[in-house]
Amino acid sequence: MSSGRKGFDPEQFRPYHRYREQFSGRGGGDFFGGMGGDLGSMFTDLFGGRVPRGGPRRGADIESGLTLDFASAIRGTTLRLKPRGPNGDEVTVRVPPGAEDGKRLRVPGQGAPGTGGGPPGDLVLHIQVTPHEYFWREKDDLHVRLPVTPLEAFEGAKIRVPTIDGSVVMKLPAGAQSGQKIRLKGKGVVRKNQPPGDLYVHLLIQIPQDPAAEAALRELEKRMPSGDDLRAKVTL
């Protein structure tokens, strides 16, 4: 009949029952003392001539969530964390540039300590990136919705555009339209051993909300085709 446990022989367990029956009438303090040298014989019978010992074991990994703002995830950042609780030691964690939402960051050797001389586990951080009001990411490309005035768009003005390396000056094409997309090469996400992504600027022409602006727009409307004519080519 199988014992149900791989490598376990029930016949080898019989010496334990014999010793238990032999010393069951003695006081609890005499159980092991009364066995004397026979204790080693019992373990020899049970474990094939050797007393089992726990070998070195690697410590467990500690898993935790890590929330980053959009800019810190794109640029990279250095944080001081306490993965083992408020009374534990601080750990310096360097988040590399281009950290992605939903990815994991493994910090070697900062998990639970090992046993029997074994190495510690790792700290595993599950990254969550908070959305940005104007920026978003598609792989290594960045996108930004950038407000511009009607005159800036009409004249093709030079405007400042924020990037991860600081703002740069970009010239709008004359007569730029709302929703038009302009590419700034190499101004996207920069990751180690990877070519940089690009930054795509989506223009949003802002219309002022006041009576003087309304009068000016109505005068401008006289110089434009009707709305129906402008949308005539938009069909399925």
Which domains, ranges and CATH numbers included, belong to the chain?
Answer: 10-47 (no CATH), 62-129 (2.60.260.20), 135-209 (2.60.260.20)
Distance (Å) of CA 166 to CA 75, 89, 127: 11, 35, 25
Q: How far apart are CA 115 and CA 56, in angstroms?
A: 6
- pTM (whole model) above 0.75: no
Q: Which two tokens stand for residue 88?
A: 């534990």
Mean pLDDT by 10 residues, the chain (236 residues): 41 42 43 41 47 77 94 95 83 94 94 92 95 95 95 93 92 94 96 93 91 86 83 79
Q: What angle do CA 75, 76, 77 make, to 5 degrees?
A: 125
Residue 160: enclosing H or E segment and its boundaries? strand 158-161
Number of CB atoms found within 10 A of residue 105's CB: 17
Return the pLDDT at 49.
52
Q: How far apart are CA 209 and CA 74, in angstroms?
A: 35
Q: What is the pLDDT of residues 147-199, one digit of tens each?
A: 999 999 999 999 999 998 899 999 999 999 999 999 999 999 999 889 999 99
